[in-house]
Amino acid sequence: MTNVHKIKQDMCEIGKRIYNKGFAAANDGNITVRVGENEFLCTPTMHSKGFLKPDDICTVDFTGKQTAGRKKRSSEALLHLEIYRQRPEIKSVVHCHPPHATAFAVAREPIPQCVLPEVEVFLGDVPITKYETPGGQAFADTILPFVSKTNVIILANHGTVSYGEDVERAYWWTEILDAYCRILMLSRQLGRVNFFSEEKQRELLDFKTRLGFADPRLTKEYEDCDICANDIFRDSWSDSGVERNAFPAPPPMGKSSGDASPDQEALVQAITERVMEALQQQAT
C-alpha cells in the first residue's frame, strides 16, 4: 500500500535540498510524485520549496485539475503531467533553476560530451528545448522530442526538468547536471576542456549497459555515429537556437583532444622543414 504521508515528507526533503543548493530562489521550482493511475502529489504555487510541510502538498489528476489540498497547485503541473503521459514508468518529476545548468539554457550552449565519466554513465546526452512561455500546454510540449531519450532536459531560458523512479532519483539527475556545468565553466576559465576519445567513450557505454542503464547511443539507429558529437539531439539545434560558442566540438571519431589535428600536424611539419633548412644553411 502506498504511504502517501511518507512520500509527502520525501518531497519536502527534496524541496529543502533544492532550496539549500540554490536551485530554487524564493518560490521557484516544483515537484510531483505519481501515487495512482490518475493521482499525482504536487507542490503548491507561490511557496518556497525550502520550507514545505506535508500538509502543503496538494493532489491533481491527469488533466491538471486539483482534487485535494488547501493550497493551489503549481502553475507548471502540465509539464510534469506530459512527462508522465509519455513515460508511464516514471514516478516523480523535479523542475527547478540550477544556476550553472540554467546558464547553458540562457546561452543555448549545448552540453559537451566525452568529458566526465560519471556524466556519460548517469546522464548521457542532454538536450535543450526551444523556448516557450512557462505554464501552458505549449510549454509542456517542448519536451516531446526528447523525453523518451533522456531523464534530464534543459529548458531554454528557464531551467531544468528531471525525472525518475522516485523523487530522490529524479532530483539526482539535476544535481549531477549542475555540478557538471559548473566544472565545465571552471575548466573553460582555466583555458580549455580536454575530451577523451571515442574508444574510451564506448568503454563507458559498455560499463553503463552492465549497470543496467539504457542509452539511446547504443541503439542501432546511432551505432555508427560519432557519439562524442551530440548526434542524438543535434537536429533540434536550429529549431531551439542552440549553437556552440563557449566550448569547441569534441575531436573527430577515434581521437582525444590531446591528439593533433591535420592542420596542427601540417603546421608542425612546415616548421620542422624550415628549421632543418636553416640548420643546413648554417652548416654550409
- What pTM value is reported for the model? 0.88
Cα–Cα separations (whole angstroms), residue 171 to 78, 160, 162, 199, 242: 19, 11, 7, 30, 25
List, for residues 1-54, the tens digit of each pLDDT value. Answer: 789 999 999 999 999 999 999 999 999 999 999 999 999 999 999 999 999 999
Mean pLDDT of the chain: 90
Over pLDDT 90: what percentage of the chain?
A: 76
Within-domain flag for 135: yes
Strand partners, 42: 32, 58
**What's the pLDDT score for residue 68?**
97
Within-domain flag for 169: yes
pLDDT band at 280 (very low <50, low <70, confident <90, very high): low
Within-domain flag for 175: yes
Within-domain flag for 247: no
Tally the domains of the chain.
1
More confident residue, 215 or 223: 215
Within-domain flag for 179: yes
Give the residue numbers spanning the domain of 42.
Answer: 4-190
Over pLDDT 70: what percentage of the chain?
A: 89
Within-domain flag for 145: yes
List, for residues 112-135, the tens digit of each pLDDT value. Answer: 999 999 999 999 999 999 999 999
List, for residues 139-171, the tens digit of each pLDDT value. Answer: 999 999 999 999 999 999 999 999 999 999 999
Q: What is the CATH number of the domain that holds 17?
A: 3.40.225.10
Within-domain flag for 31: yes
